[in-house]
């Protein structure tokens, strides 16, 4: 098969265009994005105090510490059955984004522990999702 110059130039342009479309670097691709919190769907910790339960948990990390927690105006609870789920920072892959707190319904016999960030031994910050614990 014989290729002429026009076909070779066209192929080179296609390959060049594909190469410059912006591939993600391996560093960006490995940054997991922390999930949005959902109090109603948060896991329930059924283990006894001081006992760790075996489970598969995903870990999310950020390369920088989150900003200082914001002070939020709560207002009045809609009813006695509601509690304040505090706001939190979520890592979106590039920066920490604030999600406002809100009133949520209680679960009888459980207490909600809100999401938080903790320093990790790898000099990153680990995201600890919210969950319910037995009172």
Domains of the chain, by residue range, sit at: 33-134
What is the value of pTM for the model shown? Answer: 0.61
| DSSP string covering the chain | ----HHHHHHHHHHHHHHHTS-PPPHHHHH-PPPPPP-GGGPPEE-SPTT-PPP-----EEESS---PPPP------SSTTEEEE--EEEE-SSSEEEE--EEEE--TTEEEE--EEEE-TTSSEEEE--EEEE-
Residue with the bigger pLDDT between 15 and 134: it is 134
Asked whether the predicted pLDDT for residue 105 surpasses 90, the reply is: yes
Instruction: Encode pLDDT of 6-37 as tens digits.
Output: 655 566 666 555 555 544 433 333 456 776 77
């Amino acid at each position: 098969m014989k290729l002429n110059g026009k076909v070779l130039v066209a192929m080179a342009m296609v390959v060049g265009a594909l190469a410059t479309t912006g591939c993600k670097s391996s560093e960006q691709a490995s940054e997991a994005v922390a999930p949005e919190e959902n109090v109603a769907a948060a896991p329930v910790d059924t283990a006894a105090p001081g006992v760790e339960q075996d489970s598969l948990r995903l870990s999310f990390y950020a390369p920088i510490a989150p900003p200082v927690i914001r002070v939020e105006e709560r207002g009045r609870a809609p009813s006695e059955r509601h509690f304040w789920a505090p706001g939190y920072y979520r890592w979106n892959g590039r920066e920490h984004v604030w999600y406002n707190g809100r009133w949520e319904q209680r679960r009888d016999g459980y207490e909600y522990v809100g999401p938080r960030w903790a320093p990790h031994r790898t000099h990153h910050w680990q995201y600890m999702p919210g969950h319910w614990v037995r009172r």
